[in-house]
Amino acid sequence: MGIKILGIGSYVPEKVLSNADLEKMVDTSDEWIKSRTGIEQRRIASDEQATSDLAYEASLEALKAANLKAEDIDVIIVASISVDHVFPSTACILQDKLGAAKAFCFDLEAACSGLLYSLEVANSLLLGNPKYKKVLIVGAEKLSSIVNWEDRNTCVLFGDGAGALILGKCEDTAENCIIASDLGADGSYANILQMPAGGSRLPASAETVANKQHFLTMSGGDVFKLAVNAMVRSCKKVLEEAGLTGDDIKWLVPHQANYRILRAVASRLKIPEDEVYMNVSRFGNTSAASIGLCLDEIAKGNKAEKGDYILLTAFGGGLTWGAMLVKW
C-alpha cells in the first residue's frame, strides 16, 4: 500500500503588483528587489477575496484533475498563516463552499512549510486508517492582508495564491509517491518571523493597531542563513534515506522565498540551477501556497514524467522546515 497524488490545482488572483508599482509606494527600486530576491511581480487578492476563496478555486481544479467530487473527500487540511478568521478554521469554511459534507477539517499552521507538513499528515492518515481514502490539502495565503505596506523590508517580498493536492491510496507500492521525508522545528527562533499581536499573548487593542503589531515582521538576514542550512540538511537526509543523490533528481522544488536562497540550497546539494523549479519572479513569496503553485505548473506543463524524482523543501516561521522526496 502506498499513497498517490490524484490531482493538483492552483489559483492566483488576477491583480498583478509589479516592482514599478511598489516604487510608488515605498522607498525601493525594481533593481534592488530583482537583484536581492528575483521577484518581478506578485498577485494580490481583491478586497472581496479571503484566503478560503483562493483555496476554493485551487481545490476545484484539483478535484477536476483527480476526476473526483467534493463528496468523495474524507479530510480537508488548509495550511495558512493568513486564515479567514482565528476560528472557525479556514478548512471548515472551504468544506462548506465545496460541499464536502463528509470531510473532517482542520487548519495546519506551519508557515511556509505548511504544505510539506500537510503532506506528512495526509500520508499518515491515509496509511494509518482504512477509513480515510481521499485527503485534500491546500496551501493558501492572502498575505497581502497581513503585510505592512509601509515597510519596504517585507512588503516587496510577498504575494497571494493557493495550491491544492488530492491524495489517495494505491495498492501497488511501486506507485507510492512519498519516498522519504524529514520535518523539523525550532521554537527558540519564533520571534524572527512572526505576527506579534492578535493572539492571547498580545490581544488586539487600539494600541496594538496603532503600533502596527498585526502585520508580519521578519528579521530577513537571520532567516536567510537559517533557511539555507535547514533546507540543505533536510534534503541531504531524505536523499540519504532513499539512497539517492542530487544527480537522481528531476526537479528541486523549494519554497519560493528568494532566488538567492534557492540557488544557495541547490549549489550545496550539487543540483544544477536549471533543475531548480522557480516561479518566484512571477508570484513572490506565497508562503504555504508556493510549493503547490510550482507542482501545478509542473503537472500542467508536463515538465515531469512518471517515475521522476522531485525533491520538495521548505522553510518558514516557527521556525519550521522540511524536505520530502516525491516520485511523480
Binding site for ligand UT7 (CB under 6 A): 28, 32-33, 36-37, 112, 152-153, 156, 220-221, 223-224, 227, 257-258, 261, 285, 287, 315-316
Q: HEC states along 131-143?
A: CCCEEEEEEEEEH
**How many of the other CB atoms lie within 10 Å of CB of 307?**
10
Comparing CB distances to ligand UT7, the nearer of 3 and 226 is 226
Contact 322, 313 (CB under 8 A): yes
Do residues 50 and 108 lie in contact, with contact meaning Cβ atoms separated by under 8 Å? Answer: no
Distance CA 320, CA 227 (A): 9
Q: What is the nearest approach in angstroms of ligand UT7 to the Cβ of residue 147?
A: 12
* Nearest residue relative to ligand UT7 (C-beta): 220
- Cis amide bond preceding 126, omega within 30: no
Q: How far is the CB of 107 from ligand UT7 (least distance, A)?
A: 18
Of the two residues 304 and 319, which places its CB atom closer to ligand UT7 in the complex? 319
In angstroms, what is the minimal distance from the CB of 268 to ligand UT7? Answer: 15
Write out the three cell numbers for 92. Answer: 471548515
Active site residues: 112, 255, 285
The 3-state DSSP class for residue 98 equals helix
Q: How many residues does the chain have?
A: 328
Kindly state the smallest distance separating residue 302's Cβ from ligand UT7, in Å: 28
Largest CA distance in the chain: 58
Minimum distance between the CB of residue 180 and ligand UT7, rounded to whole angstroms?
23
Q: Which residue, 92 or 112, has its beta carbon nearer to ligand UT7? A: 112
Q: Which is nearer to ligand UT7, 79 or 135 (CB)?
A: 79
Query: Do 188 and 318 contact (CB within 8 A), yes or no?
Result: no
Closer Cβ to ligand UT7, 167 or 183, answer by number: 183
DSSP sequence for 209-262: HHTTTTS-EE-HHHHHHHHHHHHHHHHHHHHHHHT--GGGEEEEEE--S-HHHH
Is 254:113 a contact under the CB 8 Å cutoff?
no
